[in-house]
Each structure stands twice: as structure tokens, then as C-alpha cells.
Amino acid sequence: MATTVAHGLIGIVVYCATREARSLSSGDTKLPLNVGVLLLAALVANIPDMDMVVGLLLQGDHRVFHGGISHTLFFAGAAGFMVWLLAKHSHHRAGLSIALTLILLSHVMVDIFTGPVIGFYPTHGALPFWPVYESRMILPLTLFKGVQHSNILPGALLTAIWEFVLLFPVTAMVVYRSCKSDFHCEFALAAKTRKY
């Protein structure tokens, strides 16, 4: 698996892209954009890895449930549908549901492209189509280096730093672009009212 850094930054990018696409396609008011929402998007992108906490608490081993149902299209779709049901009084109902589903799917996609060595090497694989298709989907290209659970420090720390160096500039540009197109963006308002 990639670290929480990669999942979180990609989750933020997916949220901003969903926000822009929804406003262009349907003319709806844009989903909110502020620091709290971006942090929430990063947190949501890491929800599938909470299966490690469940495994640790129930079985004493964080690997027992990891990569299972929480890493599937079914889980992302069910979570999005639950948000759609619960947000029935929100005018952002559809946008929130779509954003949540796509952010959770981004986690699955990152994990599908995670392997032991970056490059044209087989990935660890994932089960995105469970329960319909129960074989691991293994790709011939690894884009994210997986964390070895036996080597958390310094291995995971170095991987997280590398992911941050690669992904933060892209994430910052996407957030800037999304905010620049929105007069109601809290970042834009703070920058415009600041006196130098």
C-alpha cells in the first residue's frame, strides 16, 4: 500500500476535480472549498485503510482484513449511496455523494498501482471487483512503492517524504486552480483582503 500521504493528496485532487466537474456539467453551486474540507477529503481518502485498525483490534494483526471489502468498488459505491441517503436535505447532495465515491475509488486505484519497486514491475494487486470477481488485479506497472510493514521506520517515512515531494506540487496547483475559479473560495478571499 502507498502511505497516507499519497492517498490524502490524491483525495484532495479528486475532490477539487469533482467540484469543478459538477459545477460545469450541472450548473450547480460548487461544493465548498476551505482548509477543513480539504483535510476531510484527505481523511476520507484513507478510510479504506481503517481495515488495518479493525484487524489489529479484533485479531491482533493489522494485515488480517487489509485489502478486503474496504478496497472495492462495492464499498465506494455503498458509501456514496449512504451519503446520498443521509444528505437528503443538502443542496450539495449529489455532489457530496459523487465526491465521496470518487475519493474512495482513488484509494483503490492507488493501491492497484502499488508494488515493491517503482517501474515496470508487477504490482501487489488488489480486489477492486469483489464480490463479482475474486481474483487479484495485478498490473505490470508500479507507480507507488508499497510500505513494508516490517520496516516502518525509516522505510515508510522515506516513502511518505518521496510521495509528498512528487504529489504536493500537483495538489497545490489543482487546489489553486479550483480556488481561482471561485469567488467564494475562502483561500481567495483571505488572500485578497490581506494587506501587505
pLDDT at 50 over 70: yes
Higher-confidence residue of 168 and 117: namely 168
Q: For residue 41, give the nearest of 11, 66, 68, 64 by alpha carbon.
A: 11
Question: Would you state the pLDDT for residue 16?
Answer: 93
- Write out pLDDT tens, residues 169-181: 999 999 998 887 7
Residue 101 and residue 81: Cα distance in Å, rounded?
Answer: 8
Q: What is the pLDDT of residues 124-153, one digit of tens each?
A: 989 999 889 988 899 999 999 888 766 666
pLDDT value at position 59? 85
Q: What average pLDDT does this structure show over 69-90?
A: 92
- 83-128 pLDDT, tens digit per residue, is 999 988 888 888 899 999 999 999 999 999 999 888 999 999 899 9
- Choice between 111 and 195, residue whose per-residue pLDDT is larger: 111
Under DSSP, is residue 94 helix (H, G, I), strand (E, B) or coil?
Answer: helix
pLDDT exceeds 60 at position 196:
no
Q: Give the integer Cα–Cα distance in Å for 50 and 47.
A: 5
Mean pLDDT of 72-90: 93
Cβ burial, residue 196 (10 Å; 0-12/13-18/19+): exposed
Q: What distance lies between CA 84 and its chain's CA centroid?
A: 19
- Span 41-63, mean pLDDT? 88
- In this prediction, residues 51-65 reach a mean pLDDT of 83
Please state, rounded to an integer, the average pLDDT across all residues of the chain. 86
Percent of the chain at pLDDT > 90 equals 48
Give the per-residue pLDDT at 64. 81
Q: How far is CA 40 from the centre of its chain?
A: 10
In the numeric block, which cell numbers belong to residue 119?
A: 517501474
User: Ramachandran region of residue 119, left (φ > 0), alpha (ψ -120 to 50) or beta?
Assistant: left
